[in-house]
C-alpha cells in the first residue's frame, strides 16, 4: 500500500494551480472536468503519480471559498535549503506565515506557508 494523493477543495482552480506550480515548483500532472458532477480535478506534484504522492485540487463549480476547518493540519514538503525556499516563495508572491527555525522542543528546522485558500504547507529542511 502507499499514499496516492491528498485532496484539497479550492475556490479558484487556476489560482491554486498557479500557486502549486509557479510558487512551489510542482508540475500540473493532469486535469479533468466532470460536467455531470459540476466539478474539475487537477493533480499536481513533484513526480509522476505512479511513483509519488500528489495533491488533488478539486474545484466544485460555483463554490468560491472554503474554510479549512479545525481538523486539517498541513502538507509537509522536504526542502534542501529552507531559507532559500522561503525567499523564493516570497519572490513569487507566496505568503510565509512562520519563518524558518527549529521546531519547538527539537532541532528540526521548519517553516510554514499558506496557499491561496489558506491551507498550510510545512517546509522541513533536509538534515545534512
Active site residues: 122
Residues 6+ apart with CB under 8 A from 63: 9, 11
Residue 22 has, within 13 A of its CA and on its CB side, a CA count of: 13
Element (H, E) at 6: strand 5-9
Given a contact cutoff of 8 angstroms between Cβ atoms, the answer to whether 58 and 38 are in contact is: no
Amino acid at each position: 500500500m502507499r499514499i496516492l494523493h491528498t485532496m484539497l477543495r479550492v475556490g479558484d482552480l487556476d489560482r491554486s494551480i498557479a500557486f502549486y506550480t509557479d510558487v512551489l515548483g510542482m508540475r500540473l500532472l493532469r486535469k479533468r472536468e466532470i460536467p455531470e458532477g459540476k466539478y474539475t480535478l487537477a493533480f499536481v506534484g513533484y513526480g509522476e503519480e505512479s511513483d509519488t504522492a500528489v495533491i488533488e485540487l478539486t474545484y466544485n463549480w460555483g463554490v468560491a471559498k472554503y474554510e479549512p476547518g479545525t481538523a486539517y493540519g498541513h502538507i509537509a514538503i522536504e526542502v534542501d535549503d529552507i531559507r532559500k525556499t522561503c525567499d523564493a516563495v516570497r519572490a513569487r508572491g507566496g505568503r510565509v506565515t512562520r519563518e524558518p527555525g527549529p521546531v519547538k522542543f527539537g532541532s528540526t528546522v521548519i517553516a510554514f506557508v499558506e496557499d491561496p485558500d489558506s491551507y498550510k504547507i510545512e517546509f522541513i529542511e533536509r538534515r545534512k
